[in-house]
């Protein structure tokens, strides 16, 4: 469930990282390299990808979150925070809601990246049911899937169903009626050229916390997690170290 994780007794906080649609835990390897040593990075591997490729994808964000809450329970013996990029932001948010509902531990901080707030509707028609050609075009527009994947028929056959399943999770999601604002601070991070997640949609995350809310913008499109990994790592460290990450 947590590949690439190395225990660090000197760390003050564990950071659980949830990947974007179609992505896996390896997406955080580069970002991990820029983290300060007091943050113990724990990349979360959802079912259906990388070393869990043989497992079936789950069918709802809440289902993924409940499974994660159970699997990560042994890791809650240290102060922890949650980071998620794109779909991963929803997964991280739902994890904290699942823990709240079951009396589990509270996080120090929730850091959401490149995703609208849970109650904000899609800014475009759903795409997960598009025919293959149109769906592939949509994936290309987001600029997050390597060209070699989209140009290789075998890799397409492997990856596009996974990405489609994740798009379904995202595009059919709505927060449960019993969800309450979280007791931890939320930091929202967005890309300056991200056409799918504009600043107003990021700012709406403030509705889901009873603690502090801050926002930062990073130069880049929806996948600044790859192009600006050092800046992202610095913002995360700042948020976890001081609680301040202001525009």
Reported as a single tens digit per residue, the pLDDT across 186-243 is 999 999 999 889 999 999 999 999 999 999 999 999 999 989 998 999 999 999 983 3
> Is a pLDDT exceeding 60 seen at residue 245?
no
pLDDT of residue 242: 38
- Name which of 55-64, 70-79, 189-198 the model is least confident about: 55-64
Please give the average per-residue pLDDT across 152-172, as a whole number.
85
Here the tokens at position 25 are 């835990």
pLDDT of residue 144: 64
Please give the average per-residue pLDDT across 161-184, as a whole number.
92
pLDDT of residue 247: 35
pLDDT of residue 56: 82
pLDDT class for 33, splitting at 50, 70, 90? Answer: confident
Give CA separation, 114 vs 76, 100, 124, 200, in Å: 26, 24, 15, 12
pLDDT class for 68, splitting at 50, 70, 90? Answer: very high
pLDDT of residue 246: 38
Mean predicted lDDT score pLDDT of the chain: 89
- Name which of 48-52, 149-153, 192-196 the model is least confident about: 149-153
pLDDT of residue 44: 95
Cβ-contact 23, 163 below 8 angstroms: no
pTM exceeding the 0.85 threshold for the entire prediction:
yes
Asked about 113 being catalytic, the answer comes back as: no
Please give the average per-residue pLDDT across 4-19, as a whole number.
91
3-state SS, residue 49? coil
Domains and CATH numbers, the chain: 13-119+175-242 (3.40.50.1820)
pLDDT of residue 115: 97
Of the candidates 209, 205, 232, which has an alpha carbon nearest to the alpha carbon of residue 219? 232
Please give the average per-residue pLDDT across 6-35, as a whole number.
88
Please give the average per-residue pLDDT across 155-181, as a whole number.
89
Catalytic residue, candidates 86, 113, 174, 229: 86
Please give the average per-residue pLDDT across 92-110, as a whole number.
96
Percent of the chain exceeding pLDDT 90 equals 60
Number of neighbouring beta carbons within 10 Å of residue 227: 15
Give CA separation, 171 vs 21, 128, 147, in Å: 11, 7, 24
């Amino acid at each position: 469930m947590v590949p690439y994780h190395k225990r660090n007794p000197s760390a003050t906080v564990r950071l659980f990282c949830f990947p974007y649609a179609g992505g896996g835990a390896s997406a955080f390897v580069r970002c991990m390299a820029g983290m300060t040593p007091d943050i113990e990075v724990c990349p979360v591997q959802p079912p259906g990808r990388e070393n869990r490729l043989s497992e079936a994808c789950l069918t709802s964000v809440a289902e993924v979150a409940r499974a994660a809450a159970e699997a990560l329970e042994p890791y809650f013996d240290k102060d922890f925070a949650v980071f998620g990029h794109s779909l991963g932001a929803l997964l991280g948010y739902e994890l904290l809601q699942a823990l709240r509902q079951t009396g589990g531990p509270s996080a120090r901080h929730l850091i959401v990246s490149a995703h609208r707030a849970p109650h904000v509707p899609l800014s475009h028609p759903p795409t997960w049911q598009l025919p293959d050609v149109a769906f592939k075009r949509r994936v290309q527009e987001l600029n997050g899937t390597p060209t070699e994947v989209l140009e290789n028929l075998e890799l397409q056959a492997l990856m596009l169903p996974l990405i489609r399943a994740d798009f379904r999770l995202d595009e059919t999601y709505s927060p449960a009626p019993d969800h309450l604002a979280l007791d931890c601070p939320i930091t929202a991070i967005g890309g300056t050229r991200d056409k799918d997640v504009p600043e107003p949609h990021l700012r709406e995350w403030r509705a889901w916390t009873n603690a502090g809310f801050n926002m930062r913008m990073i130069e880049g499109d929806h996948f600044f997690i790859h192009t600006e990994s050092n800046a992202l790592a610095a913002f995360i460290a700042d948020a976890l170290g001081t609680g301040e990450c202001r525009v």
